[in-house]
């Protein structure tokens, strides 16, 4: 149970509703799901890799989807009727899962690969031209400013 209300923040800000919704979701979650386990690595200055342990799943059992800055990875193991066997001990978890990751603005999923029981998702942060820093020339007199604007 939380002790604070985010409603005043919604009323007094414009454009931050997504941020407050994420805070609201994070505070409201009692226990984060732990299955399947995963790693998040930085592989470059603007590159990341999420590795999810999906032992027993094939590429047909997995779905990777990006929608509105949310990366969803779902796994549902489909067992054919021919392969049904009596399991004496099942230590490898094969239950369905739905793991979600919130992506920052500008982060794109550029690839997915399944190898050795790990699903690797490669991500890249791409900064749009409009958000990149640009140098503004400083002029010492009005004549230079007019020439620069004309050019």
Domain ranges of the chain: 1-32, 35-150
Cis peptide before 36 (omega within 30 of 0): yes
Contacts for 55 with CB less than 8 Å, ≥ 6 apart: 92, 117
92-143 residue pLDDT tens: 777 889 999 988 888 899 999 999 999 999 999 887 777 778 888 887 776 6
**Are the C-beta atoms of residues 56 and 89 closer than 8 Å to each other?**
no
Strand, helix or coil for residue 145? helix
The CA distance from 72 to 134, in Å, is: 35
28-63 residue pLDDT tens: 555 556 788 999 999 988 899 999 999 888 889 999
pTM of the model: 0.64
Q: Domain 35-150: which CATH class? A: mainly beta
The CA distance from 18 to 26, in Å, is: 12
């Amino acid at each position: 149970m939380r002790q604070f209300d985010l409603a005043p923040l919604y009323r007094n800000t414009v454009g931050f509703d997504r941020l407050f919704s994420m805070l609201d979701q994070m505070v409201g979650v009692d226990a984060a799901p732990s299955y399947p386990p995963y790693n998040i690595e930085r592989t470059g200055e603007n590159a990341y890799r999420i590795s999810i342990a999906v032992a027993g799943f094939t590429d047909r059992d997995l779905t990777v989807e990006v929608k509105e800055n949310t990366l969803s990875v779902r796994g549902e193991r489909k067992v054919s009727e021919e392969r049904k066997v009596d399991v004496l001990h099942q230590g490898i978890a094969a239950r369905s899962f739905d793991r979600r990751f919130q992506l920052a603005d500008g982060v794109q999923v550029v690839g997915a690969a399944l190898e050795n029981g790990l699903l690797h998702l490669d991500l890249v942060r791409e900064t749009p031209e409009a958000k990149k820093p640009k140098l503004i020339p400083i002029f010492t007199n009005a004549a230079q400013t007019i020439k620069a604007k004309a050019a």
